[in-house]
Each structure stands twice: as structure tokens, then as C-alpha cells.
Amino acid sequence: MERGWRWATAALLGVGAMWLVSCATGAGSGSSVEAVRELDLERYAGRWYEVASVPLRAQRGCVGTTATYTLREDGDVKVENRCFRDSFEGRESGITGRAWSAGEAEAGKLYVRFFWPLRSAYWVVALDPGYRWAAVSGPERKNLWILSREPCMAQDAFEAIVRDLQARGFPVERLRATPQRDAHGERCVVSL
């Protein structure tokens, strides 16, 4: 009897784990989110500043948020996300992970993993031709990040990006501006 109970418990845990992974990867989503068709990872690599986001719970209270992408020899991408907690004088916090392409036919779709076995969709859904800004989401549009190569983005450029994303069904009404500092240490933040 005890062996049967252990087997049932293990089966339930296995089904639960598979459900969690499918939620994290967006499997089963009927969404029609389109990622960019072309993405040059060499050009995309480097530091990006978060201008605004529909933040993850772990990002609450973050300012000065950056994401740095470094190409690895195996073709994957090292991902380093950093921020300061509650103020620019606050504790610096960060996490490092790995991203990889979903396939050549889907250049703008990547997956990122910070904790095994979970992975999350990282879909570049809008990208400036000069790689000056990008918007990132996933297949279900639950989260959204607007990134810039510079810490401060022109308000009119930001508003144009938001209008485009809104027309495509992204949750722009949930965006939160991310304070940054410019080259002179002055605080800058877009208006929502």
C-alpha cells in the first residue's frame, strides 16, 4: 500500500512539474504574438537600459535596471540583469542566466533560463533598425520590457513605441517607467 502511495505522489509531483514548465514556456498558448523576423545577435549583444516594463515580481523596487547580453562560444547568449533596490544608492541586485535561439526560422524568438529546469520565452517583438531600442515580451503578452541603448530615451520615441505595442495588443496600460541616470548622473525617466 505504501509503495502505491509513493508512486501516486511521485506521479502528481511529475504532472505538477510538467504543468509549471509549460506555463513558464508558454506552451499551449493560442496567442498570435509576432517576434521580429530578423535578429542579429552580434548587434543585439551589449548593454541595454530598461526604460519601462510590465515588471516581474522580482523587479519590484528596481531602478537603474540594465540587461547585458554577451555572445558565448557555443552560440548561446550570457544574460546579466542588474538593478539597484529602491534607489540609486540602494543595494545592487542581479541575476545571470543563459539564452538561446528557438530556431533559425524564428530569429526573434529566444528562450532564457535563470533556474533549471524552468525557461521563459524572450521574444523580441519590436526592434529599431539601428538596434537603438527594442521591445521584449512573450507568447502570452503577460510581461513587456522596453529597452534602450542609452539610459534616457526621447519621450516622442517612447510614445511611438508604446502606440505600436498598444495597437498590437500588448498591456501598455500596465507599464511602469524605470528611472535611470544619464552620463552626468542626472535622473531621467519617461512619462507614461
Q: 127 pairs with which residues across the strands?
A: 134
How many folded domains does the chain comprise? Answer: 1
Segment holding 166, helix H or strand E: helix 155-167
CB proximity list for 157: less than 8 A, separation 6 or greater: 133
- Domain annotation covers residue 6: no
- Domain annotation covers residue 11: no
Which residue, 129, 180, 177, 176, is CA-closest to 152? 180
Q: Which residue range forms the structural domain that includes residue 61?
A: 34-181
pLDDT band at 130 (very low <50, low <70, confident <90, very high): very high
- Domain annotation covers residue 50: yes
* pTM attached to this predicted model: 0.82
DSSP states along 60-128? TTEEEEEEEEEE-TTS-EEEEEEEEESSTTS-EEEEEEEEEES-GGGTTEEEEESSTT--EEEEEEEE-
- Domain annotation covers residue 45: yes
**Span 31-84, pLDDT tens digits:** 489 999 999 999 999 999 999 999 888 888 999 999 999 999 999 999 999 999
- Domain annotation covers residue 158: yes
Contact in structure between 52 and 60 (CB atoms under 8 Å) = no
Contact in structure between 176 and 54 (CB atoms under 8 Å) = yes
- Domain annotation covers residue 9: no
pLDDT band at 7 (very low <50, low <70, confident <90, very high): very low
For position 40, which CATH number holds?
Answer: 2.40.128.20
Would you say residue 100 has pLDDT above 90?
Answer: yes
Phi, then psi, of 68 in degrees rounded to 5:
-120, 125
- Domain annotation covers residue 39: yes
Count other Cβ atoms within 10 Å, centred on residue 132: 13
